[in-house]
């Protein structure tokens, strides 16, 4: 009996499933960005995880939802006099964002139940998937806390820090999915030297930090000021009195447009320098596969920097801002896969030889 062929098919199914979920997460990040940029995120004023999956189906339902929105500070301060047709557009973006969240939950958990029943999931993979499931539920709660922050008196948008946490948690879920998917690769893969493995792992961590800082820029609208590069208002490094103009000083890291944008710029340079030095090191000391992936990371980082600069110079048009956000997910995906594969071989045993988690494992006594 050809167990290796069966194991390869099982591994391929697991990889496909995880990458499909990862693609849906990227789609959700893109729709979330459009929701934020169109000012749609506060159009649904309640968190109804189950019944909220059904959009308004009648004119009476639409009138009820519109009346709820009219009680929000965003409507009264920014959108006074908006018509129902314009509200439907706002509502559609936010409903689509939440619908994708529900869809991701189904696409994640239903195959997980099936694969567990079939005994395809090893203990190690099962623990990773359980952690991602918990993180996904946590992400939904963060999303509602973020929306609720924008419904407070005097607020017309969500709190920047909560938006950054929401985006970063989604990015962490994406990184976890592609890490596990890359770990399902079969065959012998030469591990990179220890130094390369360490710097390869540092790259996705730095990218996650940069995504968090980008969330602060987006949430505080810091991209709409200092629309020059490489200088900021004529300075490569703005004066300290402008970077720390707010008291207490810690609030500058969230609320001061100058410092928020400066932090995002400096971290971008750091990611690029680390990526380039890592690629050079991989070229000189690593196996060819590691060198190729490292150069792929550099290319994506360089493209993302160029797009970020263009977005800033153009004063954040919708298309550029969305492309910048989606490309950040591509950089994170590539860096994460590179870090995982730099550790060496994925699965080299037939899947049946791994201790399975699930009903087949219970039947066979291998828990």
3-state SS class at 89: helix
Cβ–Cβ < 8 Å for 298, 279: yes
Cα atoms in the Cβ-side hemisphere of radius 13 Å centred on 254: 12
Whether this prediction's pTM lies above 0.85 is answered by: yes
Helix (H, G, I), strand (E, B) or coil at 333: helix
pLDDT (tens digit, 9 = 90+) per residue, 252-308? Answer: 999 999 999 999 999 999 999 999 999 999 999 988 889 999 999 999 999 999 999
Q: Retrieve residue 18's tokens.
A: 């995880």
pLDDT in tens, 152-206: 888 888 999 999 999 999 999 999 999 999 988 776 678 889 999 999 999 999 9
Question: Model confidence over 44-73: pLDDT tens digits?
Answer: 998 888 778 899 999 999 999 999 999 999
Q: How far apart are CA 223 and CA 91, in angstroms?
A: 25
Residues in the chain: 367
CB-CB contact of 339 with 203 (8 Å): yes
Q: How many Å from the N-terminal Cα to the C-terminal Cα in the chain? A: 24
Say yes or no to pLDDT of 350 above 90. Answer: no
DSSP letter at 351 equals G
Peptide bond between residue 144 and the one before it cis (omega within 30 degrees of 0):
no
- Classify residue 20 as exposed, middle or buried by CB count within 10 Å of its CB (0-12, 13-18, 19+): middle
């Amino acid at each position: 009996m050809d167990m290796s062929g069966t194991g390869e098919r099982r591994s391929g199914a697991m990889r496909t499933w995880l990458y499909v979920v990862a693609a849906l997460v990227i789609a959700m990040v893109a729709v979330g960005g459009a929701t934020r940029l169109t000012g749609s995120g506060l159009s649904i004023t309640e968190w109804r995880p189950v019944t909220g999956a059904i959009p308004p189906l009648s004119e009476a339902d639409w009138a009820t939802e519109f009346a709820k929105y009219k009680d929000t500070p965003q409507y009264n301060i920014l959108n006074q006099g908006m018509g129902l047709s314009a509200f439907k557009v706002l509502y559609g973006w936010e409903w689509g964002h939440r619908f994708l969240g529900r869809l991701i939950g189904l696409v994640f958990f239903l195959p997980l139940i099936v694969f567990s029943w079939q005994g395809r999931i090893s203990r190690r993979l099962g623990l990773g998937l359980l952690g991602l499931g918990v993180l996904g539920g946590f992400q939904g709660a963060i999303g509602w806390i973020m929306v609720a922050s924008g419904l407070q008196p005097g607020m017309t948008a969500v709190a920047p820090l909560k938006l950054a946490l929401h985006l970063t948690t989604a990015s962490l879920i994406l990184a976890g999915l592609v890490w596990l998917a890359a770990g399902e690769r079969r065959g012998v893969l030469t591990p990179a030297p220890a130094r390369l493995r360490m710097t390869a792992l540092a790259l996705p961590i730095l990218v996650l930090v940069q995504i968090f800082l980008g969330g602060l820029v987006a949430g505080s609208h810091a991209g709409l000021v200092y629309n020059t590069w490489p200088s900021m208002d004529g300075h490569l490094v703005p004066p300290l009195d402008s970077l720390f103009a707010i008291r207490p000083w810690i609030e500058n890291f969230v609320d001061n447009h100058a410092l928020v944008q400066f932090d995002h710029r400096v971290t971008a340079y750091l990611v690029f320098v680390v990526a380039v030095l890592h690629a050079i090191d991989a070229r000189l000391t690593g196996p060819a596969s590691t060198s190729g992936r490292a150069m792929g990371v550099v290319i994506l980082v360089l493209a993302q920097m160029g797009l970020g600069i263009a977005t800033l110079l153009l004063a954040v048009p919708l298309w550029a801002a969305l492309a910048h956000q989606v490309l950040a997910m591509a950089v994170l995906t590539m860096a994460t896969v590179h870090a995982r594969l730099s550790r060496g071989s994925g699965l080299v045993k037939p899947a049946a030889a791994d201790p399975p988690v699930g009903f087949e494992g219970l039947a066979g006594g291998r828990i």
